[in-house]
Amino acid sequence: MAAASQQSAAPPPGAVRPGGRTARVREAVLQAAGDVLAEKGFDALDLAEIARVAGVGKTTVYRRWGTPGALAADLLDDMAQGSLPRSHTGSVEEDLRDNARLVVKTLTDPRQGRLFKALIAASLCNDEAAQALHRFYAKRIDEWAGCVGDAVERGELPAGTDPRRVIAAVSAPLYYALLNTGEPLDDDAAERAAAGALAAARAGVA
């Protein structure tokens, strides 16, 4: 029974983070996958081509990831693991500004911005990518939610404020600008996003 439980709880393809040669293979494959996604989009994510670009065996890539969706999902999980930690400025206003600036910096990066667009597009047509994108945002929101929780303890924000909602409110207008309006993503946009989330939290909306 225990063995069966362990099998049912096995991680998805590519989710294990081993060391040595296997880790180098994974790094090369994820780098190649990220480049293809950023340059050509999810439809171009062909496993055989990724193996060629990464310089690894095609059989290895098919055995470990199996589908383009699983590869995109592993890339998102890896990006979540490598993301920068939250700020600890002692001021919720400054912490939210730092969060907004980090989102803007990521989305305007020549490679990362295109990569996120491709991964978001992939999530609309692939369940594995969608689940990984949800995990990515959940991890990032949970990381920065501590800024809001600390602010509640310091009395900067009302008791009962939902930290995750506040952090989500910071990034929401920035992603909306990226995907819908095309408005500039700059320091002013970051300032407005942080200020709007903070005003809502102080008013008890969150």
pLDDT in tens, 150-170: 999 999 999 999 999 999 999
How far apart are alpha carbons 119 and 129 in whole angstroms? 7
| Nearest one of 198, 201, 85, 206 to 140, comparing CA atoms | 85
Q: Indicate whether 63 pLDDT > 70.
A: yes
pLDDT at 88 over 80: yes
Residues 17 and 93: their CA atoms lie apart, in Å, by 36
In angstroms, the CA 25 to CA 27 distance is 5
Q: What confidence tier does 19 reach under pLDDT thresholds 50, 70, 90?
A: low
Other C-beta atoms within 10 Å of 43: how many? 12
In eight-state DSSP terms, residue 86 is P
CATH topology of domain 10-79: Arc Repressor Mutant, subunit A (1.10.10)
pLDDT at 15 over 50: no
d(CA 70, CA 65): 6
**Res. 80 pLDDT band, cuts 50 70 90:** confident
pLDDT at residue 14, as a whole number: 44
Which residue reads 């439980």 in tokens? 5
Can you give the residue ranges of every domain in the chain? Answer: 10-79, 85-202
Q: Which CATH architecture has domain 85-202?
A: Orthogonal Bundle (1.10)
Model confidence band, residue 2 (pLDDT cutoffs 50, 70, 90): very low
CB 189 within 8 A of CB 104: yes
State the Cα torsion 127-109-172-91 to the nearest 10°. 130
Residues 102-137: tens digit of each pLDDT:
999 999 999 999 999 999 999 999 999 999 999 999
Average pLDDT over residues 31-59: 95
Confidence (pLDDT) at 21: 77
Same fold, 10-79 and 85-202: no
Helix (H, G, I), strand (E, B), or coil: what is residue 187?
A: helix
Q: What pLDDT, on a 0 to 100 scale, did the predictor assign at position 20?
A: 79
Any idea what DSSP says for residue 11? Answer: P
What three-state secondary structure class fits 185?
Answer: coil
